[in-house]
Amino acid sequence: MSQPEVVVSAAHVRKSFGDKEVLRDISFEVGSGEVTVVLGPSGSGKTTLLRALGGLERPDAGVITVGDASLDFGELTPGRHDRLPRGQREQLTALGRQSGFVFQGHNLFAHKSALDNITEGPVVVQGEDPQAARERALALLDQVGLSEHADKYPFQLSGGQQQRVGIARALALRPSVVLFDEPTSALDPETVGEVLQVMRDLAEQHWTMVVVTHEIRFARQVADEVLFIDGGVVVERGAPEQVILDPQAERTRSFLQRIL
Ligand code: ADP
């Protein structure tokens, strides 16, 4: 069988905050239409890695490629983001635009309806025609099971519904990959399932996804590959039945024992 085209690649990515090396030489790839689940203890660097893929955090070194944007962070001018030479800033922006990001909290605009939250990015950032963006947003709301709620404001929606709007908002940008940072960890237990179901549907529709989560059952069912990271390194990587059911590293085994 031929390998799918690589959509996301991290090569030798490093990131320190002060003296603390949070990512130490991380490398992996995600093929088109594949789902990678990132597991690891709190503080192991999962969010930092995801933010780096999404152009939200600037690694100190390494090459990140997402869709048709690629950036060698080792070659960027050190210092503050807003002081980067214009060409480098544009490269970072281009990288960020390849990803849709779903945060732990939904981060919706409180004063905008569900529909307007979804059309904001396409219209304001990507310059899409408002009517076309609206039609697409309605289709996306339908896809996440919320067509009845298009005109509601976030406070009128449950946590799970808000997070589903957050997912529709990420998809509206037509990203090459959707990055999920613990999308269900801030939700009431009864709404976790509906969000995971939407994510399962996306996987079936062959969206490329990188998902940081502690939902092991979801990882077993949906992931093509599981990365277990600890201390800023990829400790173990492979198919879910391998990493979750037959972990080789002691660190993976003890982590899984703690959360299962
Ligand atoms: P995880 O998502 O696995 O819990 P994080 O990537 O959030 O891990 O954090 C990894 C480490 O990096 C933690 O020790 C955290 O405190 C530190 N860290 C993350 N972001 C920053 C930051 N902006 N400034 C300083 N330290 C940070």
Model confidence over 146-175: pLDDT tens digits? 999 999 999 999 999 999 999 999 999 999
Q: What pLDDT shows up at residue 35?
A: 98
d(CA 186, CA 160) in angstroms, rounded, equals: 9
Integer angstrom CA distances of residue 249 from 22, 24, 45, 197, 239: 20, 18, 18, 31, 15
**Rounded to two decimals, what is the model's pTM?**
0.95
What pLDDT was estimated at residue 1? 58
Mutation test residue for ligand 1: of 37, 47, 182, the one with most atoms within 8 Å of CB = 47
**Are residues 86 and 94 in contact, defined by beta-carbon separation less than 8 angstroms?**
no
Residue type, 80: R
Distance, CA 128 to ligand 1 centroid (Å)? 35
User: pLDDT at position 83, please?
Assistant: 81
Which residues form the pocket of ligand 1, taking CB atoms under 6 Å from any ligand atom? Answer: 17, 22, 40, 42-48
Burial of 41 (0-12, 13-18, 19+ CB in 10 A): middle
| Per-residue pLDDT at 222 | 97
Residue 41 CA: nearest ligand 1 atom is 3
Predicted ipTM beyond 0.95: yes
The per-residue pLDDT for 82 is 73
In the chain, which stretches have pLDDT less than 70?
1, 106
